[in-house]
Amino acid sequence: MWKLKIAEGGPWLKSGNSHIGRETWEFDQNFGSNEERDAVDSAREQFHRNRFQMRHSSDILARMQLAKKNNFSLDLQKTKDESPFDINSVSVLETLRKALNYFSAIQAHDGHWPGDFPGPLFTTATMIIVLYVTESLSITLSSEHCKEICRYLYNRQNIDGGWGLHAEGESSMLSTALNYTALRLLGENADDGPDMSMPKARKWIHDHGGATMIPILGKVWLSVLGVFEWSGVNPIPPELFLLPSLVPIQPGRLWSHFRMAFIPMSYLYGKKFVGPITRLVISLRAELHVHPYKKIDWKQARKLCAKEDVYNPHTWLQECLSDCLYNFGEPFLTCWPVSFMRKKALKQIAEFLKYEDENSQYICIGAAQKALSMLCCWIEKSNSDAFKCHLARVADFLWVGEDGMKVRVCAGQLWDVAFAVQAILACNIAEEYRSTLKKAHDFIKDSQIMDNPSGDFSRKYRHISKGGWGFQVADQGWQVSDCTAEALKVLLLLSKFSLDIGCDQIETCRLHDAVNNPNGGYGTWELARTYPWMEIFNMTEIYADIMVEHQYVECTSSVIQALALFREKYPGHRKDEIDQCLRRATAFIEKLQNDDGSWFGSWGICFTYGTWFAIEGLSAVGQSYGNNICIRKACKFLLSKQQRNGGWGESHLSSRTKAYTNLDGEKSHVVNTAWAMLALMKAGQAERDPIPLQKAARFIMSTQLSDGDFPQEEMIGSFLKNGPLCYMVYRNIFPIWALGEYQKLT
């Protein structure tokens, strides 16, 4: 049985805070009772049976173990109490206490809430390709790992035989070709799989033009494996790295997540690296392509992309530039004596990636970037200590659920804890959960990033990080604006908490460190370094707004709320700068409002999420329904989207289409409903007409399960408009938060 391990280290691992927040899984055949093993098998069977109706797991394996450690019994049957109830202070309190008891029981001993973080369905496959090419597959993954990864990939296969870009997506060439490849590399035969899964996948690939139709990200990975040719990939010249930093297209000026993928991809392209050509690779050449491998027109293949994958079509300017680089630039740059520039660029990129690896403790900024950086590290020196450090961190990305084992895009330990504390503090009975709050406080305190990246970090295109907080663990070292803001806000709220929760307050100087760069509208990881028009050079077909660090209503709102609280507690610290920041940020949010009264949310689904953040931010600086037309328009928008059952239910398609879209069947979603409730309550809806809030509260309470949990539903997170994410603990955090605020009104 798989065992979840929290905050544990191991060989080749370093940590600045005793591995706080680290989550890994270990297979132990003696772990767990017979009843627990039967429960896991039952959960797996149930998920597989219902996988086309409910696409997401409920994290039963992790929650079962966490609850046991905290002497709490889960209802693995996920039953509901169908008896009628009235909406009053007593019933709301009863619901809250059940929810808080459950939520406290699934908190880890280090103070965070472990959980899956599903995103793109191709990240598992890319890690498998790296491990295969570097001959590290059997070293890193046991037979039990491979078994669970295969389970996951088969569970995520669509009825038509393909795999979507994400769990709720229609089949795409990128995920289908890569996941088929991964299954073969894991030892599955071409005719294996439940219900003829492999032949069905291969048929989907062939019916849609074969692997030559894969987007550029897939072209790179298949070229690395040796089942695609680099001559079929549009140029990714590493020489761009040699450009002065003043040049807009210098890779160091790009958005951090794209930068940390583009630069290692340019290294691989510059090397034209291909792994060992094994019998399996030769077989995959025949399996993935429609035409014989040696007869494929690779020059033409570089322009092909399946229509199912195209969300962000290439511009004519980009096509012209690619043609020029392919026909003239690449031949010129690879001929002597000009080729010395490529050698110089590759050397500098290798040094840059080494710097990033070391400063992120080999976690890197995300799973996709780690796979690329790990491969580049191996190419530089296959038996290096650095590569061993990389292999040791693969476990940080593996997660086991009842759906199997996957490579998570990352984890969100700090982010979840910051929201969780605010949800608990919103309840009148928060003092009953002081132990939970104390552990969460300690986790946040220990997760603050204490130093900037090493050396002259600005020359390595890194932003200041000292005093900030990241999305996941402190060891990773990448600060994020809204994570810093939410963590700071929580510490300030805890300092105002009326009862002693038994923990020392964080030092004032560390709070000051967290407020070191007040400015206008806020992006995510860094300041904007290049121009919005750079998006016309977006080489990815699957994502939008990926080139530039944009500014977002959510990040800006979080910063407003945190700085307003900080100013209240420390009125003399950089007062003029903070006042100016709040004025500019408020104007920024108001300017972003859509004509219908909504705000577009870039990191959650979608208009509901953005509108909640906007109202919270404006309210933090004294704006209200009575004195701000933006808030009045926002309330009108939210009320217009309420369903008959009292809830709200917004689809991930809202992010993709940029137009509000309901879930299929006018279904309501418990998290969407909680966001809408929080926004309306903050805007004073209870004083004008409490009925919509009462209906929403009734809906949330009606969804609660017998043990206090809430059901796992559709994806509720988002990034890059076409990349939904699933935040597992949102289903617990936000119903608690909304009902906690609502109880104060009853």
Calpha distance 63→262 (Å, rounded): 37
In a 13 Å sphere around the CA of 728, the CA atoms on its Cβ side amount to 25
Nearest-CA neighbor of 161 among 201, 208, 211?
A: 201
Buried b (16+ CB within 10 A) or exposed e, 737-746: bbbbbbbeeb
What whole-number distance in Å separates Cα of residue 562 and Cα of residue 560? 6
Cβ neighbours around 218 below 10 Å, total: 28
> 243: Cβ–Cβ under 8 A, 6 or more apart, which residues?
249, 250
Say if CB 261 and CB 206 are below 8 A apart: no
Longest dimension (CA), the chain: 82
Peptide bond into 313 cis (omega under 30): no
Pairing relationship of beta strands 404-407 and 2-6 according to DSSP bridges = unpaired
Q: Are strands 23-27 and 2-6 parallel, antiparallel or unpaired?
A: antiparallel
CA angle 544, 327, 272 (to 5 degrees): 70
State the sign of the Cα–Cα–Cα–Cα dihedral 280, 281, 285, 287: positive
| Partners of 705 in beta bridges | 80
| Token pair of 495 as six digits | 């300092």
**β 398-401/404-407 pair status:** antiparallel
Angle between helices 34-49 and 143-155 (to 10 degrees): 30
To which residue do tokens 């108001």 refer?
Answer: 590
Rg (CA), the chain: 25
For the four alpha carbons of 92, 98, 99 and 100, in that order, the dihedral sign comes to positive
Phi, psi of 725 (to 5 degrees): -125, 160
Choose among 732, 706, 679, 728: nearest CA to 83. 706
Q: Count CB neighbours of 723 within 10 A.
A: 23
Strand partners, 6: 23
Cα–Cα distance, 547 to 529 (Å, whole number):
10
Answer whether 681's CB lies under 8 Å from 744's CB: no
Q: Which residue has the tokens 């009575």?
A: 626
Closest CA to 311 of 123, 545, 603, 523: 545
Q: Please tell me the number of Cα atoms within 13 Å of 212 on its side-chain side.
A: 21
Of 357, 482, 513, 545, the catalytic one is 482
664 part of the active site: no
Residue 561 CA to residue 602 CA, distance in Å, equals: 18
Q: Nearest 5°: phi and psi at 681? A: -65, -40
Three-state DSSP class for residue 80: strand
Q: Which residues pair with 479 in a beta bridge?
A: 470
Identify the burial level of 141 via C-beta atoms within 10 angstroms of its C-beta, where 0-12 means exposed, 13-18 middle and 19 or more buried: buried
Catalytic residues: 482
